[in-house]
Amino acid sequence: ARFIHVWEKDASSRSRLLWKLGQSPVDPVTPEQAVAGIVKQYPASSATFGSDSESRYLTSCNIGEGVDLVLEFAVQDKVFDHSQILELAEILADLHRRESIVLLRKNAKRVHQLDQIVALLHSDLDPIRVASCLASDTSEFLGCGRVSVARRNSSTRWELVAATAVNFPDPRADATRRLCGLIEEACKSQNVDGSVPGIIGSSTTISPNERARGVSETPATGSPFRVRPLSVSGHWNDAEWCAVFEWPQGHADVMEDDSFNPICSHASLAFRNCTEHSNAGLSSIIQRFPRLLRSRRLLIATALIPAVVAGLFFLKMDLQIEVAGKLVPTERVFVFAPE
């Protein structure tokens, strides 16, 4: 065959080129001319193919749910008849149908894994355990070499809380310090409105000694990485948590995964829920105390309590109690006759 073109056409007549063989130009209008079960034969252009015995054949076959596979190719007239062309189209349609099923199963499995990760992120109100879940459970799903989660200590300082395969990151390790420095740099690089979602750069592998001291790798030059603030607004201004995602060398394409943004959004919601609804520890109560003071219900309850107490002290009322009983003397003497 001089060329072979295979399209996928949906119910709205939108076509997508699946496969192309040969140097012939592709006409996007061609799939609209195909009819299922019918082979259309067109004379091949002599300027393109240079032979009068060649023809261009066009047919389509239904895949399912209004989706058709369109086959177009140019071949010598004596090679194929119409029945063989229809059989070839059915074979290609069946192969594409199987490939679509495999793709759907793969996507369904990935969606199920994403649902499990989201459920784990929202299953606890302890921010440390949420950070550990984000660092350990999302690395393999996103194809990351490491995920590091840090917490803000002050307006400019960050503390590394969790990292992939590291239970307790050493704050004195060089890798930990460089990670925190990278986060501080990302925080400073925000726009005026603080809406920068993070920075994209590259990282390099550090020595085994540094890996044993806390964190396995340090962003510098080499592998791709991304820094994201974990706030519901997506701004650095109100971000109390952030994460550094690092990928192995040669895997920059996985950074554009559609699951990356949903994971960051749900992690931000999980950390906010920890701050607003967690009842664990005195620190949580102290953090919620300013918000409780601004609560309207708390103000009403606080005003009613003194009023009730004052009423009990100053209002005088008679207390009347009705009971059923029998009068008996306080002292009783039993007299017995002498024997």
Residue-wise pLDDT tens digits, 308-339: 888 878 877 787 888 888 877 777 777 776 66
Percent of the chain with pLDDT over 90: 20
pLDDT value at position 86? 87
The residue ranking higher by pLDDT, 97 or 213, is 97
The token duo for 68 is 């058709």
Q: C-alpha 56: how far from its chain's center?
A: 48
17 bridge partner residues: 7
The token duo for 18 is 């699946």
218 bridge partner residues: 204
d(CA 67, CA 86): 17
| Ramachandran bin of 139, using left for φ above 0, alpha for ψ from -120 to 50, beta for the remaining angles | alpha
Beta-carbon contacts of 184 under 8 Å, excluding residues fewer than 6 positions away, are: 156, 157, 158
pLDDT value at position 2? 80
pLDDT value at position 289? 56
The order of strands in the sheet holding 146-152 is: 158-163, 146-152, 241-246, 217-229, 200-205
Task: Quickly state the pLDDT bin for 204 (edges 50, 70, 90).
Answer: very low
pLDDT value at position 271? 93
Task: Quickly state the pLDDT bin for 291 (edges 50, 70, 90).
Answer: low
The residue ranking higher by pLDDT, 53 or 38, is 38
pLDDT value at position 279? 57
Task: Quickly state the pLDDT bin for 195 (edges 50, 70, 90).
Answer: very low
pLDDT value at position 191? 44
Please answer whether residues 88 and 73 qualify as being in contact, where contact means their C-beta atoms are separated by less than 8 angstroms: no
Q: What is the pLDDT of residues 133-177, one digit of tens each?
A: 999 999 889 888 899 999 998 878 899 999 998 878 888 888 888
